[in-house]
Amino acid sequence: MASIEQIGTAPPSPPAKIFIRRHSALTRITHWINVLCLTLLLMSGMQIFNADPQLHWGNYGAVEDPSWFEIASNQDGDNIIGIVRIGRLSMTTTGILGASTADGEMMPRAFPAWATIPSYQDLAAGRRWHFFFAWLFVINGLVYMAYGLIGGHFRRDLAPTARDIAPGNIWHEIKDHARLRFPKGEKARRYNALQKLTYLIVIFILLPLMIGSGLTMSPAIDAGYPFLLDIFGGRQSARSIHFITAWSLVAFVVVHIAMVILSGLWNNIRSMVTGRYAIINEEADR
């Protein structure tokens, strides 16, 4: 009950720190399964790439044909030199790409042993890891998609509002992000426009591109669904797009983790583990 003293003075201020339920259990579970899948898919994918470390455009492409990208291992006397070539541009990457140490010895190897699964060269094992986690990733993705569409997650949390995508607002958010000023208080209840757009690009463009280009590398799927070859411009183009998209996802993850750290590491991690996200109410400070 309000006491006499409070009446007529300032309205009761909201608590300084409140907890909201930011992520549903399904979002949290599918998020962490995704972390596991994408990590193992990347590591086994690099193992698979090492079996033929060059990329082509078009329907065909083998070692005799021109490649637009290559991680080469060149012998120079007793030394092995690692070289990454993109088109005509090349740079020496000995120690990491093209030549790296395994068991204390410099070896010709596109991606280094510490980045691949298994660490030693074994295409068959790499493929087994890759396809197992590809299936888990697809099933996990379907569950998330069903929840997003039927459960309203996409409409409620990810669909940008007209105000979100107004150029002025986006420019404003870019400036704020660049200055590491993140939304506080009531505004932090929802994803900001840059977050929404980034997540939408990942969910509806990059991840489907990954699956589509991966399936296009399957000779059996190509027989049943030849339009995939037309969409991606041939099997070797699909392999190139699979590679580029994979590293686009890595770039996303790097920025994503940086933002998680900069905008409140513990609060963000707690919200993705327990669902609880703390909001600091600025008005309360006045």
CA distance 251 to 255: 6
Do 25 and 32 form a contact (C-beta atoms < 8 A)? no
Q: How far is the CB of 22 from other proteins (least distance, A)?
A: 33
- DSSP letter at 46 equals H
* Least distance from other proteins to the Cβ atom of residue 233, Å: 13
Part of the chain binding other proteins (CB under 8 A), chosen from 84-92, 131-139, 154-162, 175-183: 131-139
Residues 78, 88, 223, 266: which binds other proteins (CB under 8 A)?
Answer: 223
Decide the pairing of beta strands 17-21 and 54-55.
Answer: unpaired
222 binding other proteins? (CB under 8 A): yes
Could you say which DSSP state residue 202 is in?
Answer: I
Sorted by sequence, the CB contacts under 8 Å of residue 190 that are 6+ apart come out as 157
199 in contact with other proteins (CB under 8 A): no
| Smallest gap from residue 75 Cβ to other proteins (A) | 19
Q: Looking at 109, 235, 246, 271, which residue binds other proteins (CB under 8 A)? A: 235
Contact code string over 46-75 relative to other proteins, x by CB under 8 A: --xx-xx---x--xxxxxxx----------
Residue 119 is a binding residue for other proteins (CB under 8 A):
yes
The number of beta carbons lying within 10 Å of the beta carbon of residue 121 is 17
Distance between CA atoms of residues 261 and 269, nearest Å: 9
Alpha-carbon Rg for the chain in angstroms = 24
Please give the residue ranges that form the binding site for other proteins (CB under 8 A): 48-49, 51-52, 56, 59-65, 101, 103-104, 113-114, 117-120, 122-125, 127-129, 131-132, 134-135, 215, 217-226, 229, 235-236, 239
